[in-house]
Amino acid sequence: MKNLAFLLLFSVPLLHCQDYSLGPDSQPQPNVPKGVVTKYVLPPGKYYPGVPHNYSVYVPAQYNAAKPAPFMIYLDGSGALGNQQRAPVVFDNLIAKGELPPLIGIFIDPGVLPALSDEAQSRYERIFEYDNISGRYAHFLDEELLPEIGKKLNLSKNPDDHAIAGVSTGAVGAFVAAWNRPDMFHRVLSFIGTFVSLKGADTLAATVRRTEPKPLRVFLQAGKNDHIAPEQPFGVFYGGSWPMNNRVMYEALQFAGYDVKFELGEEGHNMKQGAAIMPDALRWLWRDYPKPIVVHEPAAITTKGWEPRGQVYSVVSAAKPWEQVGGEYKSVASPAADREGNVYFADPVANRIYRGDKVWRENTGGATAPRVGADGRVYASQPARKRIVSWGPGGDEKTVAEGVTANAMAMTAKGAIYFTDTAAKTVGVIMPGGRARLVYNGGEMVKPTALSLSPDQAMLIVGDGQLRFSWSFQIAADGGLINGEPFYRVDMQEVNPASNVAGVTVDDIGQAYFATGLGIQYCEQNGRCAGIVSKPERLGALGEITLTGNWLYAAQGNKLFRRAVKTKGVAAWAPVKAPKPPL
């Protein structure tokens, strides 16, 4: 037992004895063309006001100004340029051997806000810039740094030509930049990444598992002894375990089907291993260039034991992306389908309702929220006139209710109409042949924006566009709402205090789909958010959504999109009882 205790106590530090010497690709070689490194200062901009940034640019000897050049950004750039990592030397050697394209190296340091006097301390920006899991740093690169460099060099606009690298907190910054802007970066190099609980990076692995994959290739390196001590094998820092969380990130990326590689070495929080393996990491990251990096469904989908429950690819397919329906309109609101599968949507700005890409009705009085009832009529709200109307197949118009402001509507098979008044924070109902009455005025919902019935129409789902919780109510025999709970929990954007739920729909197994700021989040029938389907376009807020047959329709900006799905929508006139939910 004494010998075992000795081994357990001293096995961790002894692991540091492994040699991580720099190989020939990290040494200057004769007859290899040498690139040129030039230093610059980027003046303060809008994303980090008052903060200048030092950066250097490596231009390979093979650079051709007539051809757009790929590039790679290194955060904590001075460290990558230093004698330990020797990134320019590695670039020279690998480019000369044809193992890297002739790429531009961009080495940027974190900013420092200068103090206003000798008696004051400067503000050091590194943690704010790199540990921030919002898109701020990526926007800074896209809108401030790269345009400045683009004045001097011909930089490629193709994200397959762009890589980003970082060390420690800088590794988080690199990954988050690519995660938030896959239209900018497709290649990520992470050394001893700080994917722990400091400023939110510990949440990334869970987000990766739930989110529809992006076209990223990721190389991760970590050390078994990073922030680990013999007496504290669980970690010495309040943020968590560096090696464990890197493995969790790797497993999350594997689970989601990413092209990812993980090298777990014996070192601590240093760049000994990272510098030694950098040439091989770069070869792996840029292999098969210029072949594009694309999204693949996880190989495990075809293997025994794969658990489809809740996974993004149980709902959508990588090979079947969003497609636009029709052209651009003045506005797009509330897609809804009839029995024949025709999809209607409103253009309230143009006073029109469309069926497919054809105008179905003009002069609609700013109608919005169209819904097709079990009687085949198209119902819609006219907020400016404070009424709900319907149109028959022949175009005859009827007033259904007056004195009603309806921002969203849902209809039952028996003809009841539920509606939200977002400004008043209320939910109302119009029973067949009856007047509108309030069924929710509880005040706990901040911004009721969207409605859907459960597949069996026993429950009403109400989306809250402000809070992260949306509600489930049981529908009483008289149409009232009872036993309400903040049942569904969606993920929030890092820098937005609102969920921005704008639409909700359901499938026939009881999953609820919420159009949010992050994308279309779907929750299992039990209320857990299981996955996030990407928005049709990166820019622009989502509007209402609907599932009809095996198609998911989504309004975004002034366009309508649809996507084939593996689940099935539920029509208002054909309620179904969903299976018992997973618990």
How many Å is the maximal CA-CA distance in the chain?
92
Segment 155-162 mean pLDDT: 98
How many Å separate Cα 509 from the centre of its chain? 25
Please, are residues 199 and 131 in contact by the beta-carbon 8 Å criterion?
A: yes
Name beta bridge partners: 442.
Answer: none
Q: For 529-576, how does the pLDDT look when each residue is reduced to its tens digit (9 = 90+)?
A: 999 999 999 999 999 999 999 999 999 999 999 999 999 999 999 999
Which helix (H) or strand (E) is 343 found in, with range? Answer: strand 343-347
How many Å separate Cα 154 from the centre of its chain? 30
CA-to-CA separations, 525 to 14, 438, 541, 582, in angstroms, rounded: 51, 26, 25, 8
DSSP 40-87: EEEPP-SSSTT--EEEEEEE-TT--TTSPBPEEEEESHHHHHSTTT-H
At 75, list the tokens.
């955060």
Q: 95: closest CA among 70, 77, 118?
A: 70
Percent of the chain with pLDDT over 70: 97
At 45, list the tokens.
């901009």
- Please tell me the distance from the alpha carbon of residue 297 to that of residue 320, in angstroms, as a whole number: 11
**pLDDT value at 16 more than 70:** no
pLDDT at 577: 97
**pLDDT value at 417 more than 50:** yes
Q: What is the DSSP letter of 34?
A: P
pLDDT at 309: 80
Please, are residues 371 and 378 in contact by the beta-carbon 8 Å criterion?
A: yes
pLDDT at 17: 59
Signed CA dihedral, 89, 95, 98, 101: sign only: positive
**pLDDT value at 12 more than 50:** no
- pLDDT-derived band at 14, boundaries 50, 70, 90: very low
**pLDDT value at 10 more than 50:** no
Residue extents of the structural domains in the chain: 2-296, 312-564
**pLDDT value at 15 more than 70:** no
Please, are residues 266 and 220 in contact by the beta-carbon 8 Å criterion?
A: no
3-state secondary structure (DSSP) of residue 463: strand
At 484, list the tokens.
């309400």
Q: 75: closest CA among 221, 182, 173?
A: 173
pTM, 2 dp? 0.94
Mean pLDDT of the chain: 95
Please, are residues 178 and 188 in contact by the beta-carbon 8 Å criterion?
A: yes
Q: Which residues are CB-contacts of 241 (< 8 A; sequence separation ≥ 6)?
A: 196, 227, 228, 234, 235
Residue with tokens 């190099």, as numbered in its chain: 189
The CATH code belonging to domain 312-564 is 2.120.10.30
3-state secondary structure (DSSP) of residue 306: coil
Helices (H), 116-163: 126-130, 136-140, 146-150
| Bridge-based pairing state of the strands 559-564 and 448-453 | unpaired
At 424, list the tokens.
């008043």
Strands annotated E in 392-506: 397-402, 408-411, 417-421, 426-430, 436-440, 448-453, 459-464, 469-475, 481-489, 503-506
The alpha-carbon radius of gyration of the chain (Å, integer) is 28
- pLDDT-derived band at 301, boundaries 50, 70, 90: confident
At 411, list the tokens.
């209809």
Segment 469-489 mean pLDDT: 98
Q: Which amino acid is at 335?
A: P
pLDDT at 40: 98
Please, are residues 486 and 518 in contact by the beta-carbon 8 Å criterion?
A: no
- Please tell me the distance from the alpha carbon of residue 5 to that of residue 257, in angstroms, as a whole number: 41
CATH class for the region spanning 2-296? alpha beta
pLDDT at 9: 36
**pLDDT value at 366 more than 50:** yes
Segment 393-411 mean pLDDT: 94
**pLDDT value at 374 more than 90:** yes
Phi, psi (5° rounding) for residue 293? Answer: -90, 125
Which helix (H) or strand (E) is 210 found in, with range? Answer: helix 204-210
**pLDDT value at 11 more than 70:** no
Q: What crossing angle do the helices spanning 272-285 and 87-96 adopt, rounded to 10°?
A: 30
- Please tell me the distance from the alpha carbon of residue 360 to that of residue 36, in angstroms, as a whole number: 63
Percent of the chain with pLDDT over 90: 91
pLDDT at 442: 87
Helix, strand, coil percentages (3-state) for the chain, rounded to 5, are 20, 30, 45
CA-to-CA separations, 98 to 94, 102, 383, 445, in angstroms, rounded: 6, 8, 64, 60
Residue 307: CA atoms inside 13 Å, Cβ hemisphere, count? 5
CA-to-CA separations, 317 to 212, 213, 536, in angstroms, rounded: 10, 11, 14
- pLDDT-derived band at 281, boundaries 50, 70, 90: very high
At 72, list the tokens.
């790679």
